[in-house]
Amino acid sequence: MVRDIVCGMGVEEDDPSTFVKSLEGKTYYFCSDQCMLPFMRAPDDYIKTKGKETEMVKDLVCGMEVDENNPPFTSVNKGKIYYFCSNSCKREFERNPKKYLK
Ligand SMILES: [Zn+2]
Ligand SMILES: [Zn+2]
């Protein structure tokens, strides 16, 4: 079972009715041509830049991983940027940065 990255539906890789498209050495599966066509038109919109292209940074307060390119909350301390998952983590950090900066 694989996921149609356009509609999110689960599709069977070996089902003859599944639409298959290879792109940059990767294979993508679609439930219908209605899903495959928009993907072929703008694959980047559907291929999430997960893995090495996305830098994950750690929220120092709760330890959660936060996407550096799209952080929910940031705080600057002594010229360095810190990333937080929520406003409460950010506030906790700003209240006592020494506790989190080693
Ligand atoms: Zn679909
Ligand atoms: Zn957090």
Residue labelled with tokens 């070996």: 14
| Location of structure tokens 């209605």 | 34
Ligand closest to Cα of 71 equals 2
Identify the weakest region by mean pLDDT among 46-50, 62-66, 75-79, 89-93.
Answer: 46-50
Decide if pLDDT at 96 tops 70: yes
Q: What is the number of structural domains in the chain?
A: 2
Question: Phi first, then psi: what are they for 46, rounded to 5°?
Answer: -105, -30
Residues of the domain holding 96: 52-100
Residues 38 and 80: their CA atoms lie apart, in Å, by 40
- Decide if 95 contacts 88 (C-beta within 8 A): no
Rounded to the nearest angstrom, the distance between the alpha carbon of 48 and the centre of ligand 2 is 23
What is the rounded CA–CA span in Å between residue 38 and residue 69?
Answer: 25
37-74 pLDDT, tens per residue? 999 999 988 886 554 556 788 999 999 999 888 888 99
Q: 5-21 pLDDT, tens per residue?
A: 999 899 999 999 999 99
Could you tell me if 7 and 43 lie in one domain? yes
Regarding whether 43 and 70 lie in a shared domain, the answer is no
Residue 75 CA, ligand 2 centroid: distance in Å: 12
Whole-angstrom distance, CA of residue 19 vs CA of residue 28? 8
Residues 57, 39 within the same domain = no
Q: Is residue 58 domain-shared with residue 94, that is, in the same domain?
A: yes
Residue 51's pLDDT is 46
Question: Which residues in 2-16 are b (16+ Cβ under 10 Å) and which e?
Answer: eebbbeeeebeeeee
User: What pLDDT was estimated at residue 53?
Assistant: 58
**Do 65 and 34 sit in the same domain of this protein?**
no
- Ion ligand 1 contact residues with beta carbon within 5 A: 4, 7, 9, 31, 35
**Does residue 102 have a pLDDT over 90?**
no
Query: What's the pTM?
Result: 0.49
